[in-house]
Structure 1
Amino acid sequence: MSQASVLMWFRRDLRASDNAALNAALRSGASVHCVFVFDRRILASLPPDDKRLVFIHAALAELQQTLRDAGGELLWRDGDPVREIPALARELGCASVYANRDYEPYARQRDADVAAQLTANLGQLQLHKDTVIFEQDQLLTGQGKPYTVYTPYMKRWRQSFHPALAAEASTALRGALAAPAGTRPLPTLTELGFGEATLDGLRVQTGRSGALALLDDFRRRITHYKTLRDFPAVKGVSYLSAHLRFGTLSVREAVRAALAEPSEGAECWLNELIWREFYQQLLWHFPAVAGESFKPEYRGLPFPNDAALFEAWSQGCTGYPLVDAAMRQLNHSGYMHNRLRMIAASFLVKDLLVDWRWGEAYFAQKLLDFDLAANNGGWQWAASTGCDAQPYFRIFNPVTQSEKFDSKGLFIRRYVPELAALDDKAIHAPWLAKTLPPGFVLGRDYPAPIVDHAVQRAAALRLFARD
């Protein structure tokens, strides 16, 4: 039996095609209203120049135009969704609200509160799987427990996958959307209380059109992904992480693209998509990891947490060129190459002996593609505190990593221009150079190393071994 009217609530799924919840709403036979809520409980924690708002705003503008072209409208509200969604559903006479499931602790509580409010008013919240291929308890070990090691999870994921799970979830919009009673432009970032930040320097296009353009570009390069993905000066990665995070690209589209290309590169990228789901299911089963180490034995590590060292790291002034280039890229653009995320994280925890949660919080503030599950999982991997993490005694050497993955210093020269005149050997460790360019003074023109890696490595081993 169809309903007269339903409400589609967009969150981290800012597209009108291949959207599971929207597809279900359209297939209900009801007239579909669409809404996005500027969630004040989330916005309150963001800095005034947050780049994510620029990305989201552009995606919403494109989504709104798509819905208008199909005879509908993207409504918007500014406030607490727990109040705004039930109030709008009552105002529009919607018996059901459709949305895609979010696995983060805040989102789970928010949705439970919205569902309770809707039930009290004879409505219901219908949640759908959209951001992952497998969710919640769909993949468990033979003992019925969550996976805590990636490789068995990856193998089970692949064994359980069938093409129907990545099939497109789309129904025609025209004729199914509720005709708008009126149109209202989206609020500007200034009206929302934010500055007009830009995405200058960021190698990403916004909105659904940007996602499709980047996916099309990556399809032409995916065969080389495995060999090029670790080199930050090379165009080797997909640059799709923000689009997957905010749902301007569906995970099904990403998986279909990987499966369409029989190459080592495509296989490698599919494994990265599976890593993403591995961390999502971990956060679902173990929400406490959002605030503490997964491994109990590392929950009370006495990190010195030198604030001055953390500040030098966050500003890209450690004296280790590749680490500094990585942090400056992040601060400038809101993006950091994945290999560099591992190097920067390892350096903060194992060289500077700063609690991984400090770095995780900094990345959460700066990354355009910030995703709690992936960010937390990556930091705990680097810090050796998470499941299936890097062993604590395996510590990245920032100089050898630099020599291996930016051998000619191209990436360093872009983000640390004061080192541009150094030769390809000296640029990785200026303090070890026998000669430096005329007029260049280490400690004046570029910082001397703030710590000695060998000394700090030994200190990290003692810290983690509790000696």
Structure 2
Amino acid sequence: MKPKVTIFWHRRDLRFEDNAGLYRALKAGGPVLPIFIFDRNILDKLPEQHDARVMFIRDNVAALADTYRSMGGDLRAFYGKPLDIWKQLQANYDVQAVYTNRDYEPYAIARDKAVEDLLNERGIPFHHFKDHVIFESDEVQKKAGGPYTVFTPYYRMWRNNLNDRLSNYEGKEISYYLKPYPNEKYAANLWQTDTHQAVPTLSEMGFAPADVPIPGTRVSAQIIKTYDQTRNIPGIEGTSRLSVHFRHGTVSIRQKALRAMSLNETFLKELVWRDFYSNILQEFPRVVDAPFRAEYADIPWRNDESEFKRWCDGTTGVPIVDAGMRQLNESGWMHNRVRMIVASYLTKHLLIDWRWGEGYFADKLLDYELASNNGGWQWAAGCGTDAQPYFRIFNYDSQQKKFDPKYEYVKQWVPEYGTPEYPAEPMVEHKFGRERALEVYKSALAKARS
């Protein structure tokens, strides 16, 4: 006789605590069997065997399995294509219901629809919940209706919504939307078993370990308190480095937003940018492949492959650009201020399509998140929602002097800087690149609007 279970499907929420969908599954009574699927539709497309993201996910799935085992349960992890795995699950278990948290990327939406259709054939309900963001797109709308496409008014409404419903939690007033889910209260509703299945190894999935340090989930209060003063200085530890954990849900966005509210408004705003870009993707999925501003669709990009390779390799002759790209290539992360500088250089000085840069970041970033990556690149290219106007072009020398005046960041990542081994001149000089970009953009936009 097949075991009767409710299944909770982990995806971008690799934690037990304060997990919205898991809470609903456990509270419904269970017994709840958690699962995770290493999705071959995604993994088979990754360009490198030594992908630190796969290692990070695998390590955290294994840690999560240990958490469940400490409670008498288990997490069953599978390697394959989701529909095939769900057919196996239906064959091996008497599935009563499936719970999960929503993912807003186009592939995930299509995947979930296919799984839901498969489950519905057997009359199995598929329940999904908000967990990855504080507010979904339909929760932050203009008073006249419709989504916000500019951040500042969006942020005001976001804060209004947050303050709209307050509740008392442990003796203090906090927003209803930030109150943590008490999953531990219903842990007894996990499916109890003495039989544990091993989490697939990296080698079993065709991957190898990557020598990349992963930042931890604990961030000192001092970093958050001084975040507005330190976040733009790439040569110091002035940011939280939590982005990879937000991406994969190893920390709760509610927990960190609650902490930010009491410590630093600027840090809170950075978390709201995540919601904003997620909301844009939810409302305008076309931005995945096309500019948000349609008039930018026909910019005549130069797309010089040799120049693109030098940008990728960090050999442009622009110190802060090269430092950023080498930091990305070696560590899987890049300081956010530098992300803006390297993106501006690619799209404006080199006139290379923002999608080339976005794709390179997608391959390299540990914290790669489609909505935020897309939003940032479209901002840099001038074609996004809250876009940097095309005529505002970062002067990389000014950025260097302002944010890394002693070249501490540059020297960390470009050790040959200042020696004959480093290019004597930048690949594209600022004044020339700026004037060329202004001419190209202005002409293309005039043509599009005529």
| RMSD of aligned residue pairs (Cα, Å) | 1.4
Q: Where do residues 124-143 of structure 1 align in structure 2 (5 Å cutoff)?
A: 124-143=125-144
Deviation digits for residues 425-451 of structure 1 (CA, Å, limit 9, x no counterpart):
xxxxxxxxxxxxxxx42xx44463111
User: Which AA in structure 2 matches 1:112?
Assistant: K
User: Which AA in structure 2 matches 1:462?
Assistant: E
TM-score (norm. length: structure 2)? 0.93
Secondary structure at the residue paired with 1:220?
helix
Query: What CA distance in whole angstroms lies between the structure 2 residues aligned with 1:174 and 1:100?
Result: 18
User: Which AA in structure 2 matches 1:383?
Assistant: A
Structure 1 residue 181: deviation in Å?
5.7
Preserved contact between residue 71 and residue 174 of structure 1 (Cα < 8 Å): no
Structure 1 residue 21: deviation in Å?
0.7
The residue that corresponds to 2:320 in the other structure is: 322
- Equivalent position to 1:355, from 344, 349, 353: 353
Query: What CA distance in whole angstroms lies between the structure 2 residues aligned with 1:303 and 1:315?
Result: 20
- Equivalent position to 1:403, from 365, 388, 401: 401
Query: What CA distance in whole angstroms lies between the structure 2 residues aligned with 1:82 and 1:281?
Result: 27
The residue that corresponds to 2:168 in the other structure is: none
Query: What CA distance in whole angstroms lies between the structure 2 residues aligned with 1:85 and 1:248?
Result: 24
Secondary structure at the residue paired with 1:196?
coil
Query: Unaligned 5+ residue runs, structure 2?
Result: 164-174, 445-450
Query: What CA distance in whole angstroms lies between the structure 2 residues aligned with 1:188 and 1:242?
Result: 21
User: Which AA in structure 2 matches 1:131?
Assistant: H
Structure 1 residue 133: deviation in Å?
1.0
Secondary structure at the residue paired with 2:416?
helix
Deviation digits for residues 302-356 of structure 1 (CA, Å, limit 9, x no counterpart):
1010001100000000000000000000000000000000000000000111000
Q: Where do residues 362-381 of structure 1 align in structure 2 (5 Å cutoff)?
A: 362-381=360-379
- Equivalent position to 1:198, from 211, 218, 227: 211
Q: Where do residues 164-175 of structure 1 align in structure 2 (5 Å cutoff)?
A: 164-172=176-184, 174-175=187-188
Secondary structure at the residue paired with 1:123?
coil
Deviation digits for residues 225-281 of structure 1 (CA, Å, limit 9, x no counterpart):
0011000111111110000000001110111111232xxxx1001111111100000
Query: What CA distance in whole angstroms lies between the structure 1 residues aligned with 2:262 and 2:93?
Result: 43
Query: What CA distance in whole angstroms lies between the structure 2 residues aligned with 1:82 and 1:193?
Result: 20
The residue that corresponds to 1:229 in the other structure is: 231
The residue that corresponds to 2:16 in the other structure is: 16
Query: What CA distance in whole angstroms lies between the structure 2 residues aligned with 1:175 and 1:455?
Result: 67
The residue that corresponds to 2:247 in the other structure is: 245
- Equivalent position to 1:456, from 427, 433, 438: 433
The residue that corresponds to 2:295 in the other structure is: 297
Q: Where do residues 330-341 of structure 1 align in structure 2 (5 Å cutoff)?
A: 330-341=328-339
User: Which AA in structure 1 matches 2:290?
Assistant: E
Deviation digits for residues 191-214 of structure 1 (CA, Å, limit 9, x no counterpart):
1001221224x5x13xxxxx2xx2
Deviation digits for residues 8-53 of structure 1 (CA, Å, limit 9, x no counterpart):
1000000000000111111001100010001000101112111101
Of stretches 126-135 and 85-94 in structure 1, the one that deviates more from structure 2 is 85-94
Of stretches 175-184 and 91-100 in structure 1, the one that deviates more from structure 2 is 175-184
Query: Unaligned 5+ residue runs, structure 1?
Result: 206-210, 423-439
- Equivalent position to 2:259, from 249, 257, 260: 257
Query: What CA distance in whole angstroms lies between the structure 2 residues aligned with 1:39 and 1:119?
Result: 21
Secondary structure at the residue paired with 2:266?
helix
Query: What CA distance in whole angstroms lies between the structure 1 residues aligned with 2:182 and 2:101?
Result: 14
Query: What CA distance in whole angstroms lies between the structure 1 residues aligned with 2:262 and 2:201?
Result: 40
The residue that corresponds to 1:60 in the other structure is: 61
Query: What CA distance in whole angstroms lies between the structure 2 residues aligned with 1:167 and 1:94?
Result: 30
Query: What CA distance in whole angstroms lies between the structure 2 residues aligned with 1:89 and 1:252?
Result: 33
Secondary structure at the residue paired with 1:137?
helix
Q: Where do residues 257-276 of structure 1 align in structure 2 (5 Å cutoff)?
A: 257-261=259-263, 266-276=264-274
Matched, 1:6 2:6: yes
User: Which AA in structure 1 matches 2:188?
Assistant: G
Matched, 1:148 2:149: yes
Matched, 1:87 2:100: no
The residue that corresponds to 2:70 in the other structure is: 69
Preserved contact between residue 242 and residue 369 of structure 1 (Cα < 8 Å): yes
User: Which AA in structure 2 matches 1:248?
Assistant: T
Secondary structure at the residue paired with 1:418?
coil
TM-score (norm. length: structure 1)? 0.89
Query: What CA distance in whole angstroms lies between the structure 2 residues aligned with 1:69 and 1:326?
Result: 42
Query: What CA distance in whole angstroms lies between the structure 1 residues aligned with 2:86 and 2:152?
Result: 40
User: Which AA in structure 1 matches 2:381?
Assistant: A
Deviation digits for residues 157-178 of structure 1 (CA, Å, limit 9, x no counterpart):
0001141101001222542111
Q: How many residues were matched structurally?
A: 429
Structure 1 residue 87: deviation in Å?
3.3
The residue that corresponds to 1:159 in the other structure is: 160
Structure 1 residue 182: deviation in Å?
1.9
- Equivalent position to 1:343, from 327, 341, 358: 341
Query: What CA distance in whole angstroms lies between the structure 2 residues aligned with 1:135 and 1:83?
Result: 30
Matched, 1:32 2:44: no
Matched, 1:177 2:190: yes
Secondary structure at the residue paired with 1:96?
strand
User: Which AA in structure 2 matches 1:22?
Assistant: L
Of stretches 386-395 and 449-458 in structure 1, the one that deviates more from structure 2 is 449-458
Closer/same/farther in 2, CA of residues 232 and 118 from structure 1, 3 Å limit: same
Query: What CA distance in whole angstroms lies between the structure 2 residues aligned with 1:67 and 1:466?
Result: 60
User: Which AA in structure 1 matches 2:181?
Assistant: A
Query: What CA distance in whole angstroms lies between the structure 2 residues aligned with 1:137 and 1:95?
Result: 30
User: Which AA in structure 2 matches 1:23?
Assistant: Y
Structure 1 residue 90: deviation in Å?
4.7
